[in-house]
Amino acid sequence: MNIFRLKPLVISIPVLLSCILAQTSQAGDNAAAVKSLDSITSQSSEIPSLLMETPVNLPDAEEIAPSKPKAAPMHKSAGYRLQTSQAQTDALNAQVAALKAEQEKKIAELAKQYASTQDSTTKAQQQKLADSEKQLADLQTKLQTTAQQLESANKQIADLTATRLDEGEETAQLKQSLADSQNETAALTTKLAALTADQSAKATELASVKKALADSNGKSTELQTKWQETTAKLDAQTKQMASLKTTPETPAPVSKEDIRAYALGAFWGHDVLNAMKKVESDGFKVSQPQVVSGVTDMMSGKFKIPKEKMLAELQEMDASVTAKSQQPAPTDAANSDFITKYSKKPGVKKSEMGYYYRITEKGRGAIKNSDIVAIAVTESLSNGKVIKDMNKTGKVLALPLDRFPPLFKTAISMMNNQGKLQMVVPPELAYGEAGSPPNIPPNATMVYDVKVVSISPAK
């Protein structure tokens, strides 16, 4: 039947919808990729805080003042990646429009074929039903005629019996006629029953066809609804992307005042990123768009939520961090015992600054004071708990040797390229009595595994 020829078209519509949803998901992934560019602009969250802090003044130790840190280099590839992502978004819009047009065309063809099939199928079934009804009426007419003939024959037999005239041959003929009439009646009855059963079967088939048409109509309606929902989502996303494209951008700074303001904004933005990573390290998930929205609202003095609600949330966060940071501080006896045991290990030496170290791999190639040295550091507590592991994340800290804090500068100076060293640092040379909540308790003895990844001459 023609209705079953529609099945491939009905099946193809969910496939088209799946393609559109997949393209929409890819657009979301592209947008997420653009948003994630800022997260790679700083490595400070993977670098031990001790490397980024002001060196501790020590008694009886030569203090080497660190040079002023240079401004973090701006990632030139961020703009290029943003342009690339924008181009991918435009291409995606074109693909979505093409898929949408193709889908509308397929739906129109399906509706046209469905209407044509429904009309032709219904007419054919109605014609067959009319023919069956006509045949049934003819048979009923013939049956009625035969019954009349039978009645007439019975009357003749009765008349012949009453008059007792010519009982022989004429009676036999009448009986034969009666038998023939009865046989014909039985045949007509059988044929009538067959036609009735055939009519019932055709009626059942017609009902089945009507049910199939109703199901097909229901599926078409469902697909139409899904198509409308998908179209609405695409329209909403298109409007959102259009609004993003039409957002006016601040022109590049030219005057001295604008350059100064832009530099301050970038510097403060760097601080905000570091603060976000610090909050995330405390176990809180932070949405960057909401942070930017909060900074903007603070500058404009118009907030989206009451100040009391913001203050309550900040107090709750502070209480949670404080609860996590309340871990017992190592005692002086525990620190002394750990350092004493470590100092007795083979190859362990004590530096002039007061920390203990041992070179686990010397490496090859001396390091000059002006060389740029890339190191990877694993920071741990004396109990073995790892605080930060740059080897695990695949990140390094690269600085000229003379710009490292004195603690690490002296350790690196004792190694060569690709060398490895382990150092045990007492609390007074590390984080002191305050520690670094929530992970580093007060008076903590720190263990650092330092690896020189590479060296390169200063430009």
Q: What are phi and psi of 345, to 5 degrees?
A: -75, 150
What percentage of the chain reaches a pLDDT higher than 90? 21
Vertex 99 angle, CA 93 and 103, to 5°: 145
Half-sphere exposure at residue 458, Cβ-oriented, CA atoms within 13 angstroms: 10
Domains of the chain: 2-245 (no CATH), 256-325 (no CATH), 332-456 (3.10.50.40)
Return the sign of the alpha-carbon dihedral for residues 355, 341, 448, 274: negative
Of 141-145, 318-322, 345-349, 445-449, the one with minimum mean pLDDT is: 318-322
Report which of residues 40 and 281 the model is more confident about. Answer: 281
pLDDT, position 244: 47
pLDDT at 21: 57
Portion of the chain with pLDDT greater than 70, in percent? 66
Dist CA 338 CA 327 (whole Å): 19
Length of the chain equals 459
Question: Does the pTM of the predicted model rise above 0.85?
Answer: no
Q: What DSSP element (H or E) covers 203?
A: helix 169-245
Question: Worst-scoring range by mean pLDDT, 145-154, 269-278, 305-314, 366-375?
Answer: 145-154
pLDDT digits (tens, 9 = 90+) for 156-174: 767 766 665 555 666 677 6
Q: What is the rounded CA–CA span in Å between residue 374 and residue 396?
A: 6
Q: Which of 131, 148, 252 is nearest to 195 (CA)?
A: 131
pLDDT digits (tens, 9 = 90+) for 74-120: 445 555 566 666 777 777 778 778 887 887 888 788 778 777 776 77
Q: What is the pLDDT of residue 216?
A: 62
Cα gap 115→6, rounded to integer Å: 11
pLDDT value, residue 341 = 94
Most confident of 49-58, 309-318, 397-406, 435-444: 397-406
pLDDT digits (tens, 9 = 90+) for 355-380: 999 999 989 989 998 899 999 999 99
pLDDT over 70 (residue 39): no
pLDDT band (50, 70, 90) for residue 353? very high
Distance between CA atoms of residues 115 and 121, nearest Å? 10
Structure-block tokens of residue 325:
């940071």
The amino acid that residue 148 corresponds to is Q
pLDDT on residue 375: 96
Q: Is residue 151 pLDDT above 90, yes or no?
A: no
The bridge status of strand 397-400 relative to strand 386-389 is: unpaired
Q: CA nearest 275: which of 45, 6, 435? A: 45
The pLDDT-based confidence of 350 (bands split at 50, 70, 90) is: very high
* Whether 439 contacts 387, CB under 8 Å: yes
Pairing of β 386-389 and β 372-381: antiparallel
